[in-house]
Amino acid sequence: MEILVCVKRVPDTSENEIEINSSGSDIQRDDLVYSVNEWDNYAVEEAIQIRDNVGGSVTVVTVGDDDAEEVLRREMAMGADKGVLLKDDAFEGSDGRGVAAIIKGEVEKGNYDLILTGAQADDGAGQVGGMLAAMLDMPFASLVNRIDVVDDKKINVGREIAGGNQEMNEMSLPCVLSIQTGINEPRYVGIRGIRKVASVEIPVKGAADLGVDAAVIGAANARVKRLDYFVPPAGEGAEMLEGGVDEIIEKLIDMLKSKGGIK
Amino acid sequence: MARQIFAYILHKDGVADDTALELVEAARRLDASAPVTALVLGTGADLDKVCQEVAATYKEVWKVDNAALSYPNAEVVRKVLVNLIPKGAIALVPHEHFGMDLSPGLSIKLDAAYAPDVVDISALEGDKLTLVRQEYSGQVSTHVACDLSAGAVITIRAGAFAPDESRSAGGTVTDKSPDAGDAGVAGRKFLEIIEAEVGDVDITKSEVLVSVGRGIEDQDNLEMINDLAKAMGADVSCSRPIVDAKWLEKARQVGTSGQTVKPKVYLALGISGSFQHMGGIKGNPFIVAVNKNAKAPIFQAADVGVVADILEFVPELAEKIAEMK
């Protein structure tokens, strides 16, 4: 099975507190630690496991600048066979539809049976997979937490729905799936693994290589644009307990007792 | 021409979802002068019940009865909606697992803008709609401009728009089934729902929950959470990353994709407080949050907060409670 996984380089929220710059035009990007979007990492692991079971290859693709190459290498160190960087000045400022249109170009150049994305990334939009599928007229399922390969034309896919329940669907290939965290346990990538792929050539493709529709990409064609970042005025919020640890614990125990929290 | 707004109504077993009331409020906030139509898709007697219920809130209700819609397969629903929603209209959809399945592709097929997971509406000037979204799991908010000139699909976060239940619409139900076109799709077929496994503890019945999140850092550290829960006479629950890491079973996960709990006391330890997690806590419990990040969203939802590293704080708290007993 030929599998394409779309990945994104994002600030690692487990390593960073996200703060806003003084003008509100962006988050504070100095000193941020970046990594591959957590959901995408599960998608790559799933692709690798499918390939190892049924054969084929895994290609990771990202839309970004030169820095984005590092996440491709990381995912290749995990076991992806190939990386492709989609980079062009014309791509800058694209909205979700623009990004989907760019990736569509790569899908049409290849011969993929299965296209995976993470269920969402840093902006919480969760849009590119569903848009890409609609543009390609391929079936789509979101929030996928299980993939069973039936044969080379069909897979059974579990979706995470409310209450911990799972919705099973039969999907025909090729299709697009957005992958939810928890579908597998992504393997650890060590420095040695990354060194091994450090010199592998990663092809870079631009708008002309991909035949992207110029009318939907870039900031000028974005129908949805971020205007600013802000911190909403805080509500009342919690009563913060302050003082020494012993003092805080004493207060907290009194409160828990009065609310029936200690039996 | 007046702007038209459509609201997609989620329903189950003949009852409309709470979001039905929230979407009509979102529509009013978006453009109070725009006519709002509820779209209710399904089949049989349950569908008629939902339409009657929804007509109390929406002046116009469009019903589509088709056996292919007995289970809401997003691909089938999308096909029907593309036939029904006129060009340039705005479609509001709840931002949950079905809305996330349906909406991005719907926006492409309608050639409309897509604004996901909207939590507030700021302004409308001509075709420029200014919305509020959140990024980085709610750590920061953003204003977003959405161009409505070609229409838009907007998904609305559950709970973000408080419904005004006093409004009575006395709406009319119109059967649009003949206009819905062919509802058949190839490529994706619903098979079955696999119910969540029942764990060794039913946290939905717990009065006191000690709930642990990403701040626990390592599986071995769970021991201190168990010790604290034991000292308090509480049950242990968790947020999503703990289940993803397979450190606790899915049945202990609190949140929209896990269990809905209604304890008296909820102790959130190293949990950031994403809306998906908070969406699983009902019944207005007394919430205590301990987190080393003073800006964690959980402190907005909690009654009492402590800024501390749970790895240091929890053992001391457990010890003091155990001593006291």
Q: What is the side-by-side order of every strand in the sheet holding B208-212?
A: A239-240, B304-307, B286-291, B265-269, B208-212, B235-238
* pLDDT value of residue B229: 97
CB contact under 8 A, B306 and A261: no
Domain presence at residue A21: yes
> Is residue A151 assigned to a domain?
yes
Q: What is the average per-residue pLDDT within A5-29? A: 91
Residue A230 placed within a domain: no
Cβ pair A252:B259 closer than 8 A: no
Angle at A55 between CA A107 and CA A6, to 5 degrees: 30
Within 10 A of B94 (CB to CB), how many other CB atoms are there?
25
Segment B280-323, tens digit of pLDDT: 999 999 999 999 998 889 999 999 999 999 999 999 999 999 99
Contact A124 B137 (CB under 8 A): yes
B25-82 tens-digit pLDDT: 999 999 999 999 999 999 999 999 999 999 999 999 999 999 999 999 999 999 999 9
Are A172 and B256 an interchain contact pair (Cβ–Cβ within 8 Å)?
no
Tens digit of pLDDT for each residue in A181-213? Answer: 999 999 999 899 999 999 999 999 999 999 999
Q: Please give the ipTM for the structure prediction.
A: 0.94
Angle between helices B222-232 and B310-324 (to 10 degrees): 30
Residue A251 lies in a domain: no
Spell out which residues of chain B touch residue A258, defining contact as CB-CB under 8 Å.
none
CATH of the domain at A25: 3.40.50.620
pLDDT band at A159 (very low <50, low <70, confident <90, very high): very high
- Please count the structural domains in chain A: 1
pLDDT at B1 over 70: no
Query: What confidence tens digit (pLDDT) does each residue in A171-183 have?
Result: 999 999 999 999 9
- For domain B5-180, the CATH superfamily is HUPs (3.40.50.620)
- Contact status, residue A68 vs residue A212, Cβ threshold 8 Å: no
Structure-token match 């991005």, residue found: B104
Within a domain: residue A131? yes
B199: which chain A residues are within 8 Å (Cβ-Cβ)? none
Torsion of CA B279, B280, B286, B290, to 10 degrees: -80
pLDDT band at B169 (very low <50, low <70, confident <90, very high): confident
Which pLDDT score, from 0 to 100, does residue A263 have? Answer: 81
Strand partners, A6: A61, A117
A231 touches chain B (CB under 8 A): yes
- Amino acid B146: pLDDT: 98
Any bridge partners for residue A4, and if so which?
A59, A115
Give B43: exposed, middle or buried? Use CB within 10 Å, 0-12, 13-18, 19+: middle
CB contact under 8 A, A131 and B117: no
- A232: helix, strand or coil: coil
Inter-chain CB proximity A140 and B258 less than 8 Å: no
**Angle between helix A128-136 and B97-109 (nearest 10):** 40
- How high is the pLDDT of residue A164? 87
What percentage of chain B carries pLDDT values higher than 90? 88
Q: Please report whether residue A262 resides in a domain.
A: no
Tokens 């996330």, residue?
B100
Residue B215 confidence (pLDDT) above 70: yes
Place of tokens 């691909």: B75
Task: Check if B113 contacts A (Cβ < 8 Å).
Answer: yes
Residue A76 reports pLDDT greater than 80: yes
Mean pLDDT computed over B84-100 = 97
**How many Cα neighbours within 13 Å face the side chain of A244?**
2
Q: List chain A residues with CB under 8 Å of B308.
A: 245, 248
CB-based contact, A249 to chain B, within 8 Å: yes
H-helix segments, chain A: 38-54, 69-78, 96-109, 128-136, 191-196, 207-210, 245-258
Confidence of residue B164 (pLDDT cuts 50, 70, 90): confident
Which residues in chain A (154-193) have CB-CB distances under 8 A to chain B?
156, 158-172, 175, 181-182, 185
Nearest to A103 by CA among A52, A153, A163, A60: A60
Alpha carbons B286 and B140: distance in angstroms, whole number: 25
How high does pLDDT run on average in chain B?
94
pLDDT (mean) for B141-158: 97
Residue A133 touches partner B, C-beta closer than 8 Å: yes
Cis ω before A174 (30° cut-off from 0): yes
Domain membership of residue A229 (yes or no) is no
Instruction: Say if A18 falls within a structural domain.
Output: yes
Between CA A50 and CA A96 the distance in angstroms is 28
Instruction: Report the SS3 class of residue B278.
Output: helix
pLDDT of amino acid B163: 87
Q: Where are the domains of chain B?
A: 5-180, 203-324
- Residue A41 domain boundaries: 2-221
Q: Which residues, other chains included, contact B40 with Cβ-Cβ below 8 Å and sequence gap of 6+?
A: B9, B11, B16, B47, B50, B51, B54, B61, B62, B63, B64
Rounded distance, CA A55 to CA A57, Å? Answer: 7
- Give the residue-averaged pLDDT of A87-108: 98
Distance CA(B157)–CA(A35), nearest Å, equals: 27
Residue B148 CA to residue B187 CA, distance in Å, equals 31
Q: What is the mean pLDDT of residues B210-223?
A: 97
Q: Report d(CA A222, CA B145) in Å as an integer.
A: 10
Average the pLDDT over each of A11-25, A246-260, B6-20 and give the range with the smallest value.
A11-25
For chain A, report the end-to-end CA distance as a whole number of angstroms.
Answer: 56
CB B136, CB A18: distance < 8 Å: yes
Answer for the pair B249, B228: CB distance below 8 angstroms, yes or no. no
Among the four given CATH numbers 2.40.50.90, 3.40.50.1220, 3.20.20.80, 3.30.450.20, the one describing domain B203-324: 3.40.50.1220
A35 Cβ contact list (under 8 Å, min separation 6) = A9, A10, A12, A15, A71, A74
Q: Which of residues 10-69 of B touch A (CB under 8 A)?
A: none
Q: Is A153 in the B-facing interface, judged by CB distances under 8 Å?
A: no
Read off the pLDDT of residues A208-235 as tens digits, 9 standing for 90 and up: 999 999 999 999 999 999 999 998 777 7
In B, which residues are within 8 Å of A252 by CB distance? 288, 304, 306, 317
> Residue B17, exposed/middle/buried by CB under 10 A (0-12, 13-18, 19+)?
middle
